[in-house]
Chain A
Amino acid sequence: MPAATARPAAGGPVISLDKVVKRYTMGTNEVLAMRGVDLIVEPGEMVAIMGASGSGKSTMMNIIGCLDTPTSGSYVLDGVPVNGLSRNQLADLRNQKLGFVFQGFNLLPRTTALDNVELPMLYDRAGRWTDTRATAAAALTRVGLGARMDHEPSELSGGQQQRVAIARAIVTQPTVLLADEPTGNLDSHTTVDVMSLFQELNEQGITIILVTHEPDVAQYAKRIVEMRDGRIIRDVPVADRHNAKADLASMVSDDALAVVA
């Protein structure tokens, strides 16, 4: 499928949604989860999508992630028009251009961190990977889990599991990293920890779109898109962007003070 692997001319947007509508029909019931969404994401952005529950955030992420297709409107991912692609072409597109991080980590149980991270490369049909073990190990080192490669998910903390999931998402060098409530299952300290990893990866050039309903978390992004009832009601750059690494350092010293007191 050459169309999916062809890169657009330099400078094109990574994601381009144009009047995207998603309608779910359940019997006689109809739900309009997206009511005409326009969204452009340029390379290197870090976008936080916010909004109340049921406002259509996950639906949009599924469409951007090529797990679902729009009812109407068009979607172009990294220069590739996604409308009308087959199941297999969508699978290949996910494999080559997208990385997913989920709220529930979604690692394969009873499978080591290294095997989990290696997995996406095994499904590659373009023959991009030669030494999948070494590449997976490098990705784990990159997320700070170089010493935990042989651990299974049950032997890792929530934050560590999410790091493995992030390593799995970035190992194929995707165009976009998609994260649907990646910190939803984590405590506040680990949340900041994971956000510092996202910021670090974004600095290294990975485009990130993450869904969150915590305003604190959104403050780590560069841009906030807010949804309500299937529409984008606000799309603003983050004025006072937080640095997760700095926050982490101060939290550690707070903890230290608390222990002293």
Chain B
Amino acid sequence: MKKITLFKVATQSIIKNKLRTMLTMLGIVIGVGAVIIMVAIGNGAQSQIEKQIGNLGTNMIVITAGSTAQGGVSQGAGTFNRLTIADADKIKLNSTLLNAVSPVIVTRTQIIGGLGNWRTGVNGVSTDYLTIRNWGVSSGELFSDDDVRSKKKVVVLGNTVATNLFPDGNAVGAQVQLGRSPFTVVGVLSPKGQTATGNDQDDVVLVPYTTAQDRLSGFSFLAQILGSTSSTAVIPAAIEEVKLLMRDAHNLNGGNVPDDFTVRDQTAIAAAATSTTSVMTGLLAAIASISLIVGGIGIMNIMLVSVTERTREIGIRMAIGARGSDVLTQFLIESIVMSVLGGVIGLLVGLGGAAILGKFTGWATATPWSAVFIAVGFSAAVGVFFGYYPARKAASMNPIQALRYE
């Protein structure tokens, strides 16, 4: 029998048994739909994170206290808060590759003014901070180097803080109280959005680091030192330079002492974040794939029942001249057509489901083309794999016994 007529015979029998066909396909529809939705969510999260990391600042280098490569040996708690203003100054003064350097002091406090009060994060920074973070002000301006030198009590509000305390937009020039000290608002930052982990980057206020040390945090250690280069190309060299300067500043040169600080750039942070999400995507897809396999077993199940149920039909076909291979191919085509059809429907369900989910939860979803092809290809493979055994069973029947089957 020609392949095309076999295809016709197979599709006829699929159409003739609509309910059975739908039930058979259901497993594959759910399986493929689940895989597509999971991959869409994982993939969406990943591109979201990449975007947000780009948002952190271009060509940024982050120096934090403590080593990440201490071979499992925990360093004492005291060794952690060892970034100082002196370190930041030394880098600022001696670096040839960094065009901006800012210490960052992090604390939290209550800010009172405008409509009431608001608890928020305070970052004590230098005037380079906005350059490094690729950030700007929407009104007013950042404090000046003079303000930093003279420890002036001036503050720049993040967008969230400003909209909560000064919804009318009249923040600049207003007096607020930070902790126990009065501050003057000199600017409002432009909105930055959420971080990859869902933190609101606009829920923050910036003050001169000198003022922060004096009036707010009460300690002199830094959370981070941030720096930026003028181009991505020099980042590796800049990291090496900063490491040397830091080792010098911490008197680690000469000995075989490990770094007591860590220098990272965006690619390292991005790699860590995206590898986490790609592991998550893989995990989600793997879980969803299990439902695809269950769907395949469903196909095999119904095909086996169908082969038994259609024993007489198989006998008739053989009596009028069907070869075993004709019967095998017919049943195989039936199972492949059903699973591919199920795969395509599942694909549409998945794409629709991902879109609806994205709309209601606000999650970013993105379906890569590869997932589409893999889903359909995989469901065809499921059809072949789980359809073969029942088809084989049908093909090896004895025509006389098959004809006599009630």
Of B90-98, B293-301, B322-330, the segment with at least 4 beta carbons within 8 Å of chain A is B322-330
Q: Which of A58-106 contact B (CB under 8 A)?
A: 62, 65, 67-68, 87-88, 91-92, 94-96, 100, 102, 106
CB neighbours of A88 from chain B (8 A): 323-325
Name B321's contact: one of A62, A91, A107, A110 (CB within 8 Å): A91
- In the complex, are the beta carbons of B323 and A120 less than 8 A apart? no
- Least CB distance from A171 to B in Å reads 10
B272 an interface residue at 8 Å Cβ cutoff? Answer: no
A233 an interface residue at 8 Å Cβ cutoff? Answer: no
- In the complex, are the beta carbons of B12 and A111 less than 8 A apart? yes
Name A120's contact: one of B312, B321, B400 (CB within 8 Å): B321
A119-B317 CB under 8 A given contacts A92-B323, A106-B312: yes
B77 an interface residue at 8 Å Cβ cutoff? Answer: no
- Least CB distance from B40 to A in Å reads 40
- In the complex, are the beta carbons of A68 and B400 less than 8 A apart? yes
Q: Indicate the member of A62, A87, A96, A120 with the most B CB atoms within 10 Å.
A: A87
B364 an interface residue at 8 Å Cβ cutoff? Answer: no
- In the complex, are the beta carbons of B313 and A124 less than 8 A apart? no
Q: How far is the CA of A159 from the CA of B298 in the complex (A)?
A: 40
A115 an interface residue at 8 Å Cβ cutoff? Answer: yes
A67-B321 CB under 8 A given contacts A111-B16, A115-B12, A123-B326: no
CB neighbours of B324 from chain A (8 A): 87-88, 91
Name B400's contact: one of A67, A110, A115 (CB within 8 Å): A67
A-B contact count (CB 8 A): 63
A122 an interface residue at 8 Å Cβ cutoff? Answer: yes
A168-B323 CB under 8 A given contacts A67-B400, A122-B1: no
CB neighbours of A94 from chain B (8 A): 318-321
A100-B12 CB under 8 A given contacts A67-B399, A67-B400, A123-B1: no
CB neighbours of B9 from chain A (8 A): 122
- In the complex, are the beta carbons of B313 and A108 less than 8 A apart? yes
- Least CB distance from B308 to A in Å reads 15
B245 an interface residue at 8 Å Cβ cutoff? Answer: no
Closest residue to B324 on the A side, CB-wise? A87
- In the complex, are the beta carbons of B318 and A91 less than 8 A apart? yes
Interface of B is mostly: helix
- In the complex, are the beta carbons of A110 and B16 less than 8 A apart? yes
Name B320's contact: one of A87, A115, A119 (CB within 8 Å): A119
CB neighbours of A119 from chain B (8 A): 317, 320
- Least CB distance from A116 to B in Å reads 9
CB neighbours of A108 from chain B (8 A): 313, 316
- Least CB distance from B315 to A in Å reads 8
- In the complex, are the beta carbons of B320 and A168 less than 8 A apart? yes
A124-B321 CB under 8 A given contacts A108-B316, A111-B16: yes
- In the complex, are the beta carbons of A106 and B403 less than 8 A apart? yes
- In the complex, are the beta carbons of A102 and B403 less than 8 A apart? yes
- In the complex, are the beta carbons of B320 and A120 less than 8 A apart? yes
- Least CB distance from A46 to B in Å reads 21
**Scoring B residues 176 to 199 as 1 if CB is less than 8 Å from chain A, else 0, what string do you get?**
000000000000000000000000
Q: How far is the CA of A124 from the CA of B326 in the complex (A)?
A: 11
CB neighbours of B1 from chain A (8 A): 122-125
B5 an interface residue at 8 Å Cβ cutoff? Answer: yes
CB neighbours of A96 from chain B (8 A): 321
Closest residue to A122 on the B side, CB-wise? B5
Closest residue to B321 on the A side, CB-wise? A95
**Scoring A residues 209 to 222 as 1 if CB is less than 8 Å from chain B, else 0, what string do you get?**
00000000000000
- Least CB distance from B312 to A in Å reads 7
Name A87's contact: one of B5, B316, B323, B400 (CB within 8 Å): B323
Q: How far is the CA of A50 from the CA of B212 in the complex (A)?
A: 114
- In the complex, are the beta carbons of B12 and A95 less than 8 A apart? no
Q: How far is the CA of A88 from the CA of B322 in the complex (A)?
A: 9
A67-B16 CB under 8 A given contacts A122-B5, A122-B9, A123-B326: no
Taking Cβ atoms with an 8 Å cutoff, the residues of A that contact B are: 62, 65, 67-68, 87-88, 91-92, 94-96, 100, 102, 106-111, 115, 119-120, 122-125, 168, 172
Taking Cβ atoms with an 8 Å cutoff, the residues of B that contact A are: 1-2, 5, 9, 12, 16, 312-313, 315-326, 399-400, 403
Known: A94-B318, A108-B316, A111-B16. 9 other contacts (CB 8 A): A67-B403, A91-B321, A91-B322, A92-B323, A94-B319, A106-B319, A120-B321, A122-B9, A124-B321
The 10 closest A-B pairs by CB, nearest first: A95-B321, A123-B321, A120-B320, A91-B323, A122-B5, A110-B16, A94-B321, A88-B323, A123-B322, A106-B316
List 22 contacting pairs A-B, 8 Å CB cutoff, sorted by A. A62-B400, A65-B319, A67-B319, A67-B399, A67-B400, A67-B403, A91-B321, A91-B322, A94-B321, A95-B321, A96-B321, A100-B319, A107-B316, A110-B16, A111-B12, A120-B320, A122-B1, A122-B5, A123-B320, A124-B321, A168-B320, A172-B321
